[in-house]
Structure 1
Amino acid sequence: MGTELNWAVLGTGVIANQMAQALQKIGKPLYAVGNRTYEKAVEFAKRYGIQKVYPQIDDMFEDEAVDIVYITSPHNTHYGFMKKALEHGKHLLVEKSITLNSEELDEMIALAREKHLILAEAMTIWHMPIYKKLWEIVESGELGKVQMITVNFGSFKEYDMKNRFFNMNLAGGALLDIGVYALSIVRSFMTEKPADIVSQWKPSPAGSDEQAAILLKNKDGQMATVALSLHSKQPKRAMISCEKGYIEIMEYPRADRAKIVDASTGEKKEISCGKTEDALFYEMTDMERAVESGDETEMYLNYTKDVMDIMTGLRREWGLKYPEEM
């Protein structure tokens, strides 16, 4: 990781803490922090020895010393912050879900291209070494064609409708919070974007999507099933079923190992690559490389866009709109 790029983080939650720890681990200081509540930003800065705390979030975008801003605030605040940051010439790494919908994302992609800036979603799946290894294996053809992908993700969240998981005013719901991971893994193992999509969903008492089942198929005949839930536990499990075997990945958002099972012999082979705890380090290393080279391809913005298009289409079918979209 280069030493010359200055990172600023917007937000002081769990991800911001993990990001600061990832930088600390490699002896690179986080340059600055900004948060809606100034006191929280000051406290965060003390914890990680950060020199610069902005009294107003906008000060971060106006600071010429900032190269990359990592946005970790709630989904529904991303668009406004992204627009200001890009207009002020900042490269952006944005927590998933990167925006609320495709319209917002398309506008931000256009702005980033116009300003010659790197825009990327902080999607761990694009950056974990295990996936880079698995994509190589699949592309080599040794397992034959990918036919079917099965993905689960569910957690039991108490029915607190003020909580960000359910709250419509914080763009709550299973799709943008956990579905984005499931659909990202699906997209990364498919040869092209799925166009035929059917689904069922169940609203929470707040009206957000509490549960969903999604079936997807692309022109290549590759299919996927995705099951999401926010009020019932499921394993974080992905299975990529190919002609000559299948790949099974547990805890897939930050996986560091996978099991490959041979279809004819049943022989199991475990491969491991990278470390779960270094997930944010991998993301940020790839981001710095993209900024330094001007090449956005390793940030997989094209996949991020495909996933956002799928999620936007699903919510449109469900008639599920957030207050910002009314």
Structure 2
Amino acid sequence: MDQSTQYNWATLGTGVIANELAQALAAQGRKLYSVANRTYEKGLAFAQKYGIEKVYKTIDEVFDDPEVDIIYISTPHNTHIEFLRKALSKGKHVLCEKSITLNSEELAEAIRLAEENHVILAEAMTIFHMPIYRRLSAIADSGKLGELKFIQMNFGSYKDYDMSNRFFSRSLAGGALLDIGVYAISFVRWFMRSKPNQLASQVRLAPSGVDEQAGILLSNGAGEMAAISLSLHAKQPKRGTVAYDKGYIEVYDYPRGQRAVITYTEDGHQEVIEDGKMADALAYEVADMERAVSGEENTMCLDYTQDVMAIMTELRREWGLVYPEEE
């Protein structure tokens, strides 16, 4: 990327991720250009915290601002498509928090709008941007681990069993799949040679009707398989294990992984791979997004995002889990 290029980032939302974005830019001696939020007072407080000069009175103003280059959307899942339509139609590049949309139909619409307006659309999926995963892919591609056979994924959080909490709220597109399952499936898709085309699952629904726990089996045409266990009400380690016939990779805290251990099957010796820093997750996303916008290199993995969304859409169809916006 041409270092003289300075892109103006706007945040739509002022939650945890927006704070991390502001901090990532601050670490580079930069600031967010502007802030949009449903509640103006919260936007104002966020701007004062980070020395941001422009705060919009209404959200729609961010889409009309000619000085805005890239919008980071970090509002609840079910609001994404509404904001994506407006941002992309106005020619803004968009990095959107996961899950990028509720379903494949919405994502296809957003991609069409991005193509029509010649802008970059991407999901802020850390797995696609943390340096450790590119290192691990290079090792796997070298053939030293042999053929991929099986991937085992765990992600369990313990959330208060409150059906009004966004994690369990159907009206806020809650549930384990869109909140944490998207990480596990993205991890699987990163390592698999092709999109899984067979799936089976079991689900436990919360009283609110969203998925609180699930077991998912995936396989593709190459015979590669994966098993995923998700829970919003039972803590599990965030662990991914990728098993090849000559060794296996273990990654802990995998959504923002920075360390992996490879165990070689023949003699049991281990190799530790470390790359990147968990704390710099947003900085990696920003750098990759700006390279894509500049035309230098597009590593935003939108094709993987589409594959993951297709799997989640099919799973929810089988579960009969429909959000209000989809009715």
**Structure 2 residue matching 1:266: 3-state secondary structure:** coil
Which runs of structure 2 are paired with 1:1-326 in the superposition (5 Å)? 2=3, 3-293=5-295, 295-296=297-298, 298-326=299-327
Aligned length: 325
Q: C-alpha deviations, 1:13-55, integer Å up to 9, x for none?
A: 0000000000000101110001000000000000000000000
| 1:206 aligned partner, one-letter code | S
The Cα RMSD (Å) is: 0.9
Q: C-alpha deviations, 1:218-258, integer Å up to 9, x for none?
A: 00000000000000010000000001000000000001110
**Structure 2 residue matching 1:277: 3-state secondary structure:** helix
Q: C-alpha deviations, 1:275-303, integer Å up to 9, x for none?
A: 0000000001000000001653x000000
Tell me the distance in 2 between the aligned counterparts of 1:21 and 1:4: 17
**Structure 2 residue matching 1:299: 3-state secondary structure:** coil
Please give the TM-score of this superposition, normalised by the length of structure 2: 0.98
Tell me the distance in 2 between the aligned counterparts of 1:295 and 1:251: 28
- Give the percent of matched residue pairs that are identical in Structure 1 and Structure 2: 61
Answer whether contact 1:154 1:233 (CA < 8 A) is retained: yes
Tell me the distance in 1 between the aligned counterparts of 2:56 and 2:144: 52
Tell me the distance in 2 between the aligned counterparts of 1:256 and 1:127: 11
**Structure 2 residue matching 1:284: 3-state secondary structure:** helix
Please give the TM-score of this superposition, normalised by the length of structure 1: 0.99
Q: How far does residue 66 in structure 1 lie from its aligned partner after superposition?
A: 0.2
| 2:292 aligned partner, one-letter code | A
Tell me the distance in 2 between the aligned counterparts of 1:123 and 1:219: 25
Following superposition, which runs of at least 4 residues in structure 1 exceed 6 angstroms of deviation?
none
Tell me the distance in 1 between the aligned counterparts of 2:19 and 2:200: 38
Tell me the distance in 1 between the aligned counterparts of 2:326 and 2:277: 39
Tell me the distance in 2 between the aligned counterparts of 1:20 and 1:174: 27
Tell me the distance in 1 between the aligned counterparts of 2:82 and 2:104: 15
**Structure 1 residue matching 2:153: 3-state secondary structure:** strand
Q: Return 5+ residue gaps in structure 2 as ranges.
A: none
**Structure 1 residue matching 2:32: 3-state secondary structure:** coil
Q: How far does residue 140 in structure 1 lie from its aligned partner after superposition?
A: 1.2
Answer whether contact 1:118 1:294 (CA < 8 A) is retained: no
